[in-house]
Structure 1
Amino acid sequence: MAPYIVSINNQSNRKQAYAIFAAAPVIKRNGVSTVDVVTRIITSVRGVASPQGQASFMLSKKLFATCGVYDVEADPSPQNQHRKRIGTGIEVVDQRPVDLGCSDEHGRPVPGTTLRIECSDGTPAFTKEEITRSGAPGCFSILTGRDFSVKEASNNQYVVGFCSSMRQNIGPYATFVPEPGQEYQIAPSKIFYVVVGQFNPYDLTSPTLKDSQSTCKVDFGALGTDQVTLTHNDTGGLIRMRVPGEEATSPVNFDVSGSSAPADLGSNVTATRSD
């Protein structure tokens, strides 16, 4: 599968930094209640030159479910775009590739991947057993056992989520704290946000970041393409989006002061930059 590609042409007349994160997925617990999730910076790039510099985020469409323990201290100042992870703590992660539920060429449902988590050794890990696939359309499924408690999960920083790369420097799209004895249906979003500023992979995104003046929304599903280009113009206040093949037509403009355009998601992530 060809990756999703978001390219940014920096014509702002100064070096820039950019990052990308995904919209929160819809997660249902036992088919009913929704789950609180946090989204994180997937990857970022700095030192993108102007006026010819370009950054590209390449997001593969293959996703990996993740589980484990994440307890890393970070600079707590959310308004400081230069904040960094302090580097104190632990990260233990298990990962498995997943397929989302879909339909075959005859329109028959094909269930998505189902994985089971066990915590008998004090750290969440995926079991090796083959489990009947039960992922709903557009979803994969996670089952949790009863070998841990809600308190244990919270105190020990248990996390479940998904990402697009097994590289340690690529952050997860979203994470949540699991509860025992549950079935989670996880539907990744196809909406991404490109933000101007210095961020680090794994940084938590604030609820208001997607509506920031420096953020542009990209929804590949609505655009019907796997590739878009954003132009950061010389006023510093506009990102212009072009879809390949439409350059001859009037471009779609998005004011980075809050508005954005629709766009969709992908998986494995690589960031490149031009200096």
Structure 2
Amino acid sequence: MSEARPMNGIEVARDIMERAAERAAQFEARTGAKPCLATVLVGDDPASVTYVRMKRNRCAKYGIESRHVPMPETITTEELVSAITELSNDPSVHGILLQHPVPHHIDERAAFDAIAATKDVDGVTSQSFAAMAFGRDGFASCTPAGIMRLLDAYDVDPRGKHAVVIGRSAILGKPMSMLLLARDATVTVCHSKTADLPSLVRTADIVVAAVGKPEFVRGEWLKPGAVVVDAGYNEGNVGDVAFGEARTRAGLLTPVPGGVGPTTIAVLLEQTVTAAFRQQQISA
């Protein structure tokens, strides 16, 4: 079998961001202000600092204002919720991103749910999850939404396909399953307690790996020709899929880096611009 075709997230993201930039320019021309994304970072975890810097750089490049809101590592849940509530009530802020993960002593769910649904451009609140599950208007979780854009760009129609999602986190695995279900896939969600995981993965037409363990998914687990999306990112630029093994089995395969990551940021910017238009009650 020939090697898997790579799914180039950089190219897909560029298309999304260029369209978002055009809409951001329209918004500024009509309102005199740029769409504004507030990035809230608790502590100074090096990986989180890097992620926030990348997002802020993308904002600057594509005509979106980025307001950085650093918080000390020692902040309490109550103080963080108060700060996020203040941003939610600030009309000059159109989108709010709370960088994940937060320190262990913080109630992350309470902090996420302090974000107004109209400004939840990262799609992390309970209200946004409900919107995804029930097919209502709202903002999708950025990584799962970015994965759907990748599938669309490579003409992968989930309808009738068996999709296996490995991971059940509230901001990746669970919303990923909702978005795939909405597109008529048959979805199996696997996790650390799943029995005989390799056998389940072998039945999948589409595999989404979001387990947070380097090279966890082995090539021999995969059905020949499967679409394999690696949503993991581990130390050393290694994903959750054993790339070298998978490329000889899969039909389509996302690289790490250069696959899911760029589309995640692109969807974040796109949803920030959409939020700005909605809050001003004007159409693009």
TM bucket (normalised to shorter chain) is under 0.3
Which protein has the bigger strand share? Answer: 1
Which protein has the bigger helix share? Answer: 2
The structure with higher relative contact order (CA 8 Å, sep 6+) is 1
TM-score, reference length from structure 1: 0.28
